[in-house]
Structure 1
Amino acid sequence: MNLSSISLRDLEYVVAIAELGSFVKAAERCHVAQPSLSVQISKLEARLGTVIFERTTRRVIVTQKGRVLIEQMRKVLLEAQDLVVLATRSKRPFGGSLRLSAISTLGPYYFPQILQGLRANYADLSLVLGEGKTGDLVSALVGGGLDAVLIAAPVADPALAHVPLFREPLVMACPSGHAAASKAAVGWKGLASHERLLLEEGHCLRDHAIAACADVDPSARHATSLETLKYMVAAGEGCTLIPALAVRPFNGLEYVPLHQAQYARTIVLAWRLSDPRDDEFRALATYLQELSPEGIDMASTPQQRKRASGGDKRPLKKI
């Protein structure tokens, strides 16, 4: 087969259709007329001698062989993106642009603390920041839609490299005057299962909350965000776990420190192993370690451990 008859643009069309489940939506994403896209897909299927999509009046279905081909097409497109990065890479860090996203239980509280420092240290860098759930971020990263992500360990995908940045304590948020806030209380584990409020499925903080106490009821009331959880707690609905960086004064809510090791999460910077900018990501990770975000009260990075041991006299920042 003559490879010149297959273009990267054709592969982009196929992947877009597979992801969106629609020729019309794929055409909009790829900025091409829908009839033209359909013609190109038909030509590609003819060249490959394979039907990639079943067309019905209601939806588009990927064939069994089509799924295998689409997975390979994603790899080809990702390699092509890396080729462009290598070819156009300038002296500016990350080629001048970095698409960085964080899990939604971290981004709104962490980004404001590091943004000024990042702009000062990477003056020529255009930052595109975002947030989302862990699974969505990892999928976007592996697929080339993002350059790097800030997520909680562990990182299970073998296609990703990562470096730990800091260890963030979790605290318990209770309604003001709640028995769990007293010194005699036994904390998160001492609550009745129905009193433990969780985030909805897909948030890694939900998994941390369940892992920290075996009898958490996974079907318990849940919220879509940390701020919604705070409102539920303040209304007397129950208690929840909140990351230290998200701790803010809140009417009707009281925070209780939890000192056991399981009440913490490790935040890492992750990027694709195949990305040719590995050295730049590692330099960025080192810089982020040095920023020492407010709300972290434990020696969790090499720099913070040095301070705690007396090698650095700057005080650790407290909750």
Structure 2
Amino acid sequence: MASLPSLRQLSYFVALAKDLNFTRAAQASFVGQSTLSTGLKELEDSLGVRLVERDRQNVSITPIGLEILERAKVILAASEDLVEFSKASGKPMSGTIRLGVIPTIAPFLLPNVLPDIRERFPDLQIALREDLTANLLARLAEHQLDFALIALPFETEGLLVSELFNDEFCLVAREGDPALKSKEIQLPAKLAERLLLLEEGHCLREHTMQACRQSDFRKADGMEATSLLTLLQMVESGMGIALLPEMALKGGLLNGTHLVARPLAPPVPKRIIALVARSSTAHLEEFNALSLCIQEQFKGANKSSRGLRKDARI
């Protein structure tokens, strides 16, 4: 019987394919470069195919190597799931959960949610990472995260998805802006040239664009912001208007500004806040518990909030 590839050999191959650099792959694998090279050669010998092509300047993965790479990732992920399952079954609701959160959710939801989680589950630690949705889902797939708190719509095929609550959009403009004349704001095409957006990569940008398309609203080319804070500064300086989620407004985003938020006329565009995990997650109990905590915190915040005032700051 031919020798089977080891998990270590497969991990060396995946590490090399990531950067196409032997030195960095060895560092990422915490081994010497010669050890990495030997492991890759043994992997090629056991499979009977050439995985890597290398000359003095370049490293590339062969066509068959690319196909094997995807299978190697699946095998490594399955082995990690096995270890996670064993740990989780020993003592659920304990240990560390690695949670990714997008920037347009983290500062407005987590300050209330995290203390509640600590109180309910004192043995459970939450390790946070804030990043864009695509990056979080990539880390989730690579087992660098356990869960991700994101906003839908976004492609989540193959993931476990818990839709938590709706987050409606409001129009934000500087005090005295003509766009604020109505108590409920329509999105006519004449406002297109004034709409300010976050830069490419932020899902809030795509959600805003989707909201505009639903109202026959077409965006004109213009400047883009790198963060919500920059976007607010641009609006306050009179450069345009913005559509922002109600969660951020109730979280005090407009405090200390001269900006006013107004609700939009029905049908009100919204995003859906969701917790996602790998479908094979070993932390299903923690996933359900965190989903419930977040939902309850949102409902409690809504009950205590005075809501969106149509003629004032939040």
TM-score interval, smaller chain: 0.7 to 0.9
Contact 2:189-2:218 within 8 A present in 1 as well: no
Match of 1:235 among 234, 237, 240: 237
Contact 1:151-1:267 within 8 A present in 2 as well: yes
Whole-angstrom distance in 2 between the partners of 1:88 and 1:2:
32
Match of 1:318 among 281, 294, 307: 307
Whole-angstrom distance in 2 between the partners of 1:184 and 1:117:
36
Map of 1:224 onto structure 2: 226
Whole-angstrom distance in 2 between the partners of 1:219 and 1:82:
45
- 1:240-259 aligned within 5 A: 240-247=242-249, 248=253, 249-259=255-265
> Cα offset for 1:227?
1.2
Map of 1:147 onto structure 2: 146
Map of 1:287 onto structure 2: 293
- 1:89-238 aligned within 5 A: 89=88, 91-154=90-153, 156-183=155-182, 186-214=185-213, 215-217=217-219, 219-238=221-240
> Cα offset for 1:77?
0.7
Cα deviations across residues 146-181 of structure 1 (Å, max 9, x unaligned)?
A: 101111123533321111111112222212321112
Cα deviations across residues 120-157 of structure 1 (Å, max 9, x unaligned)?
A: 11100121111211111112112211101111123533
> Cα offset for 1:87?
2.3
Structure 2 counterpart of 1:318, which letter? G
SS of equivalent residue, structure 1 residue 192: helix
1:7 aligns with 2:6: yes
Contact 1:294-1:318 within 8 A present in 2 as well: no
1:270 aligns with 2:276: yes
Q: 1:155 to 1:252 in 2, by over 3 A?
A: closer
Q: 1:260 to 1:3 in 2, by over 3 A?
A: farther
Contact 2:171-2:185 within 8 A present in 1 as well: no
SS of equivalent residue, structure 2 residue 28: helix
Aligned length: 301
Structure 2 counterpart of 1:55, which letter? R
Whole-angstrom distance in 2 between the partners of 1:51 and 1:86:
34
> Cα offset for 1:259?
4.2
Q: Which runs of 5+ in 2 are unaligned?
A: 309-314
Map of 1:25 onto structure 2: 24
Whole-angstrom distance in 1 between the partners of 2:84 and 2:206:
36
Whole-angstrom distance in 2 between the partners of 1:265 and 1:175:
24
Whole-angstrom distance in 2 between the partners of 1:18 and 1:317:
53
SS of equivalent residue, structure 1 residue 97: strand
Contact 1:245-1:295 within 8 A present in 2 as well: no
Cα deviations across residues 78-119 of structure 1 (Å, max 9, x unaligned)?
A: 110111122233554355110011112111221112111111
Q: Which runs of 5+ in 1 are unaligned?
A: 297-313
> Identity of aligned pairs, percent?
33
Contact 1:110-1:293 within 8 A present in 2 as well: no
> Cα offset for 1:20?
2.4
> Cα offset for 1:295?
6.5
SS of equivalent residue, structure 2 residue 104: coil
Q: 1:191 to 1:226 in 2, by over 3 A?
A: farther
Structure with more contact order per residue of length (Cα contacts < 8 Å, sep ≥ 6): 2
Whole-angstrom distance in 2 between the partners of 1:53 and 1:317:
62
Whole-angstrom distance in 1 between the partners of 2:194 and 2:224:
11
Q: 1:315 to 1:234 in 2, by over 3 A?
A: closer
TM-score, normalized by length of structure 1? 0.85
Moved over 6 A (4+): none
Q: 1:315 to 1:295 in 2, by over 3 A?
A: closer
